[in-house]
A = this chain, B = another copy of it.
Amino acid sequence: MRILSLLHHHRRLRRLRRRHIHHLHNYARPLTTFTVPLSHPAYIIWGSNTSLGKTLLSTGLASSFLLSSQPNAKFIYLKPLQTGFPLDSDSRYLFNKLSVISARRGLPLLSSHSVLLSSLPAAKSFLPHKFTSNESLGMCELKFREEDKVLDGVASELVCETLYAWEGAVSPHLAVEREGGFVEDSEVVGMVERRLREKMECFETGKVEALCVIETAGGIASPGPSGTLQCDLYRPLRLPGILVGDGRLGGISGTISAYESLKVRGYDVAAVVFEDHGLANEVPLMSYLRNRVPVLVLPPIPQDPSNDLTEWFDECCPVFNYLKDIMLQTYSERIQRLNEMPRKAGHVFWWPFTQHTLVPEGTVTVIDSRSGENFAVYKDNGFITQQFDACASWWTQGPDATFQTELARDMGYAAARFGHVMFPENVYEPALECAELLLEGVGEGWASRVFFSDSGSTATEIALKMAFRKYSSDHGILLDLIRGNTNERCIKLKVLALKGSYHGDTLGAMEAQAPSPYTGFLQQPWYTGRGLFLDPPTVFMCNGEWNLSLPEAFHSEALKLDDLTFRSRDEIFVRNRDTSNLAAMYSSYISHQISRSSDQIGALIMEPVIHGAGGMHMVDPLFQRVLVNECRHQKIPVIFDEVFTGFWRLGVETASELLGVLPDIACFGKLMTGGLIPLAATLATEAVFDSFAGDSKLNALLHGHSYSAHAMGCSAAAKSIKWFKDPETNLNISFEESGKMLLKEVYEINLWDEELVQEISSLPSVHRVVVLGTLFALELQVDGANAGYFFHNSFYTLSYMYASLCARSLLQALREDGIYMRPLGNVIYLMCGPCTSPESCRQLLIKLYGRLAEFSQVKEISESCQL
């Protein structure tokens, strides 16, 4: 019976935990972007455990700073979360103590102490006359403020603030459970950010010396009011920290662990300080920290409660002074480095796809960190501000902040357990798990083998080698070679590919792309373009309606068609289009093209549904389906290049779900590792694999890269694949029963508000819109030249080389709105992660809509001026 009750207990806990996860997720959180001032140094004071003297340290720092600075210096102390209030109040302690110290040391001081908000019980205890009702379960506005003035003269200033307080002397999350006063994470962080800005903005940079500390509650990973660990809670601000360690027996372990927990969340720690307990804990700590971080030791704190610590503070003076100097110096080094980074970058980097002469120093973006979907960008006016990474860092990104933290821990684990280990003829857990998940997921129903490499381009090269072997084996070429019936130099194999598709920048991948400025002599003199390149029909939304755009080859035939619009996007993907006139037209066009080719077609390669780098064009899925079927018919191996489209980028795990046909070979990369590190995979059917079997190693696929199936990449991929499709971790995932097909659940991620999308597509400045999964893209309508888009020019790549001035000024404005975008010529796009909330996406669209509307107005005005 005991076990039963134990299990019951566990079930109860699981329920609690689930509720808790939703908190952690902050899923419904609006698109909050924070701006942290850097005009003066600000530090978080962390403790490796509770009750190690964080407040004494803050007090000592305040006194050291104010006594050694210019007369008008300012020290700001924030205590965001105070429990045990009003009995305990760290801000009040500091306020009182500093008055005593400054009086004793003859320092003129103006000081203030405020308490902003508290739970009702705390409010009643603190201000019993003001708070009498029992109503509020939220936070009460205390608006408490007291001031003090010590001595006359040019006074230094001390500001002490408690932001949120609870009565219970327990962790904030327990206090909330017991006495109410719940606060959202974003509220807490937003409040800290606002107080910081307010306190620092009131004086000009350089005029006043100031130092700010933010003292946390309990240990570094003690939960905040929502249950989120404090080290996670404050992460969007990523302020540097001082860690108060533990000088007692066992304290080395606790201090090191706390330090590591901060590091694996991306924090910097400027110093470790702890109270001496006679155990010389600094020796192993300094050894562990290897010069990276200074370790300071405070003399033992007198235990007698009647001792007012005056002597102790005096004794600590050199340590606090040293610590303060470290903090000021670390700060100025950081600012100096941030300021010089753009110039240095311009001197040492060779950026890909970048004409350096077009990137003046002032336009270089300094990225201080990332938290989930947001970059933290340094602005040289003294701020670090967040921008939504709407280019998804070249379409690789997936994680929200919660997932990033978890992935980071997993990366530490994988590096520590495996580093990288030799792959061929070996097996290790991350590689095996990753391969199994790939075959159960994107390879389900067709693939049986996984070949790992490092980038989309290498995955493509491998896919082509696989396809050519399979083709050669199926079409008797290998036999002819063995029998000496033919010479290998005489066999010309080509790929069948679509114009405007992109497969990578290594020569083999380039050869499978149609000629364009990217493939000319200037870029790669060896490029010849070994493909039969077809011009595909595309679909896009304009004025709220989905349209079909046919290439020139179909112009004469197109007149026979009734309608080139779709009532909804779903209609584009329905399978009953297979029996339409259009399908027949596609089919005869394709087979005609193949039959006309003088060389043998050894493979079909295509990006399913969306041509990414080619300008975010949606290819008519019917055309691609017909194409695949025709190749299957002619025993031409089919390669899907899903480097861009795979892993929920288009709302489904694999774009082949949208097309309704399966490949023989498929390439994956980018989002596969959650957007963390390079890893690519080429999946193949057993039949393709078998064409490499034989007694001789010469028959094997003699291709490999140093870091084949590296453990960290495979770990990241395994974790991401699971995370993205688990409804418990990805709240965007929903189970739907697709009609009568009960055997297979259909997951689909739809993130963009349909109405808003339609409105945007109706703006005069917008030429066309493509929206699917995590992608929203639009092409700007530029000076009327694109009007006749119905039959588009097949060599459209060139137009994506240059961002028009309009696009660039639009993007500049959006960056000010906290959205970091990159143009593809006149195509601009928003790309989120598979876990990004629809609410965030809606807000992105609203901001975009606002700027586009402005832009349309300006355009109209300028056009009317030209008249």
Contacts and interface: CB of A to CB of B under 8 A. Distances in A.
Contacts of A295: 13
Given A264-B409, A411-B415, A705 B505 contact: yes
Contacts of A521: 472, 481, 488, 491
Contact of A677 (B421, B465, B712): B712
Contact of A449 (B349, B436, B678): B349
A488 B519 CA distance: 12
Interface in A26-63: 48-51
Interface stretch (A17-25, A132-140, A777-785): A17-25
A583 interface: no
A283 B704 contact: no
Between A13, A357, A365, A417, the greatest number of chain B beta carbons within 10 A of the residue's beta carbon is seen for A417
Contacts of A708: 351-352, 394
A423 B3 contact: no
A393 interface: yes
A589 to B, nearest CB: 27
A148 interface: no
A53 B615 CA distance: 63
Contacts of A365: 425-427
Contacts of A610: none
Interface string A217-250: 0111111000101000000001000000000011
Interface in A784-816: 801-802
A731 interface: no
Interface string A382-398: 00000001010111110
A370 B706 contact: no
A115 to B, nearest CB: 22
A676 B419 CA distance: 5
A670 interface: yes
Given A6-B318, A394-B422, A508-B526, A705 B457 contact: yes
A126 B439 CA distance: 62
A301 interface: no
A436 B287 contact: no
A102 interface: no
Nearest to A169: B249
Contacts of A261: 256-257, 260-261
A426 B705 contact: no
Contact of A253 (B17, B49, B238, B395): B49
A399 interface: yes
Given A493-B526, A694-B357, A428 B465 contact: no
Interface stretch (A400-408, A569-577, A590-598): A400-408
A287 B424 contact: no
A26 to B, nearest CB: 13
A391 B422 contact: yes
A287 B17 contact: yes
B488 A525 contact: yes
Interface stretch (A205-213, A338-346, A753-761): A338-346
Contacts of A461: 505-507
Interface stretch (A153-161, A170-178, A543-551, A735-743): A170-178
A286 B344 CA distance: 46
A408 B415 contact: yes
B3 A322 contact: yes
Contacts of A222: 250, 252-253
A24 B706 CA distance: 30
Contacts of A820: 422
A355 interface: yes
B707 A416 contact: no
B703 A369 contact: no
Contacts of A396: 420, 706-707
Given A279-B170, A508-B524, A677-B420, A364 B706 contact: no
A507 to B, nearest CB: 3
A252 B221 contact: yes
B676 A451 contact: no
A706 to B, nearest CB: 5
A422 B258 CA distance: 30
B801 A174 contact: no
A218 B250 contact: yes
Given A263-B409, A350-B451, A355-B693, 16 more contacts: A21-B287, A219-B257, A254-B257, A261-B261, A347-B448, A353-B701, A356-B700, A364-B426, A389-B422, A396-B420, A404-B419, A422-B820, A455-B707, A677-B707, A697-B802, A698-B801
Closest 10 CB pairs of A and B: A219-B253, A352-B704, A266-B417, A412-B412, A50-B250, A507-B508, A266-B416, A264-B412, A488-B521, A345-B427
11 contacts: A227-B284, A227-B287, A229-B253, A254-B258, A345-B427, A350-B682, A353-B700, A354-B424, A355-B692, A670-B706, A677-B712
